[in-house]
A and B are shown apart, each in its own frame.
Chain A
Amino acid sequence: MNNLKQLVEAFIFAADGPLSLDRLCALLEQPRGLVRPVVEELMQEYQLSARGFRLFEIAGGYQFRTLPDFAPYLRRMAKERSVKFSQAALETLAIIAYRQPVTRAEIEYLRGVDSGGIVKSLLERNLLRILGKKDVPGRPLLYGTSRQFLEFFGLRDLNDLPTLKEFAALDPELAEAEPLAPEGT
């Protein structure tokens, strides 16, 4: 396949979300060993050439996105205004992102306030997902972040989250948080 690079580019361009390496290999019927270097080459090319968009590695896949530098202009074209998170929503999202899997009671203990409404609206916006139920009385639901969360913040995976001061030392559970988007592995 001598036009592999163009084909990879075409697939990533036309996909409706970040396209994982596995999915790409399946579509192309080519082994990872062959496809991966091609994707990396493409990423490099877009990085080096002066373009308005670039190939990003996001949520365990690859996606073309405009450069954040141009956002002030691009916002003029957006149909809807981007949603602004409230302080409470950001706090809740941060707690869930760093401490997942976490129950609502644990979130509320950490924040000191009722967080049911916020959790619900974050769920409705698909930024969270339910990971299961905790094996304690009442079997409360356990929450974690979704793949859309990674897409939304342009993260490769959860390890891509910014490191917080003293976080690792004080929160050993963080290391055990289950990785999302297993398809890339």
Chain B
Amino acid sequence: MPIQILLENFSGPLDLLLHLIKTNEMDIYDIRIMEITEQYLSIIEQMKQLDLDVAGEFLLMAATLMHIKSRMLLPSSEEIEEEEGEDPRAELVRRLLEYQRYKEAARLFENMPQLQRDYFTGLVRAADYLELEDAADEEITVGIYQLAEAFHQVLSNRPKEVFHEVVRESLSVAQYIRRLSARLAERKRMAFHECFSPEASRIELVVTFLAMLELVKMRMINIEQMKEFSEIWLTLVVAPEQLDQLSAVEDALGYE
């Protein structure tokens, strides 16, 4: 009996495996690995014959299955048991069980009442209006090079130092993230050049810029420009109270 299965119907190799286990009425804790591997491979083979792309993940699972199968075929001498420990299927079973739970959770989510599908509210959130306005402005997304260039501008605008003093400054990016986000929380919108104070030292400027990039990466702020070469604007995209939760993050930023 040929198995008619389309990989697109499965969200991944684990989903396909679960399906095979179910259709074969197997106990998930005691998978008949030979049978499953054979069926799994024949599905992958069919896909290839139909000239369909088989995603790498499905091939990886095929390799995993074959590996487990080969280990099951080995005579179970005590030496190997000690070396390899548990049943070769154990990890796969754990993953399948776990995956099965999230698949079930996904089904629950689908059936939970959802906003604008099951629940309706009288008002559109103010943020949605803001988004619409932004779209009308047709802002250009600022790329890293434009940002770098703007930063270069800031650096070159800095007055030349007349004397030279060697001081070791220790500035923390985390501290500047806090400072920058606090200013943004107050003002909502700030011009790029405003973020850098004219008296700031080179290192301070660099740390401020790093803080800005970190905030973008964490999606706390948005950086926009109305047209090329015009002012670059920074806006807060999260509620100010979410900024407080940043503090937990700072140690993990990875700057010394």
Cβ of B39 to closest chain A Cβ, rounded Å: 17
Q: Are A111 and B116 in contact (CB under 8 A)?
A: no
The secondary structure that dominates the B interface is: helix
- CB-CB under 8 A from B61, the residues of chain A are 112
Residues of A within 8 A of B98 (CB): 110, 170
Interface residue? B73 (CB, 8 A)? no
Closest approach, in angstroms, between the C-beta of A166 and any C-beta of chain B? Answer: 7
Asked whether any CB of chain B lies closer than 8 Å to the CB of A87, the reply is yes
From the candidates B57, B104, B105, B252, name the one contacting A132 in the complex (CB within 8 A): B252
CB pair B120–A162 under 8 Å, yes or no, is no
- Across-interface contacts of B118 in A (CB, < 8 A): 68, 71, 154
CA–CA, A56 and B120, complex, Å:
12
Q: Does A43 contact B (CB under 8 A)?
A: no
Contact of A85 among B12, B110, B124 (CB under 8 A): B110
A141 to B249, CA, bound (A): 10
With beta carbons under 8 angstroms apart, the residue of A68, A95, A183 that contacts B102 is: A95
Whether a CB of chain A sits under 8 angstroms from the CB of B121 is yes
Task: Check B121 against A64 for contact (C-beta < 8 Å).
Answer: yes
Scan B109-139; emit 1 where CB is below 8 A from any A CB, else 0: 1101111111111111111000000000000
* Closest chain A residue to B242, Cβ basis: A129
* CA A82 to CA B120, docked complex, whole Å: 11
CA distance A139 to B250 in the complex (A): 12
Give A80 to B117 CA distance when docked, in angstroms.
10
Chain A contact-residue range equals 35 or more
Residue A42, interface by CB 8 Å: no
Q: Is the CB of B119 within 8 A of A154?
A: yes
Cβ–Cβ < 8 Å partners of B249 in chain A: 131-133
Within 212-256 of B, Cβ neighbours of A (below 8 Å) are at 217-219, 238-239, 241-242, 245, 248-249, 251-254
Bound Cα distance from A78 to B121, whole angstroms: 11
B55 at interface, CB cutoff 8 A: yes
Q: Check if A4 is an interface residue, CB within 8 A of chain B.
A: no
CA distance A14 to B121 in the complex (A): 11
Of B120, B122, B217, B251, the contact of A78 (CB 8 Å cutoff): B120
- Which of B103, B242, B245 is A91 in contact with, Cβ under 8 Å? B103
21 A-B contact pairs sorted by A residue (CB < 8 Å): A13-B122, A15-B123, A17-B125, A68-B119, A71-B113, A74-B120, A95-B105, A98-B105, A110-B98, A132-B249, A133-B252, A139-B252, A139-B254, A152-B115, A153-B109, A153-B112, A153-B114, A153-B115, A154-B118, A164-B105, A164-B108
Q: Which residues of A contact B (CB under 8 A)?
A: 13-17, 56, 63-66, 68, 71, 74-75, 78, 80, 82, 85, 87-88, 90-91, 93-95, 97-98, 109-114, 123, 129-135, 139, 141, 147, 151-154, 162, 164-167, 170, 182-183
Interface residues of B (CB under 8 A from A): 11-15, 55, 57, 61, 95, 97-99, 101-110, 112-127, 217-219, 238-239, 241-242, 245, 248-249, 251-254
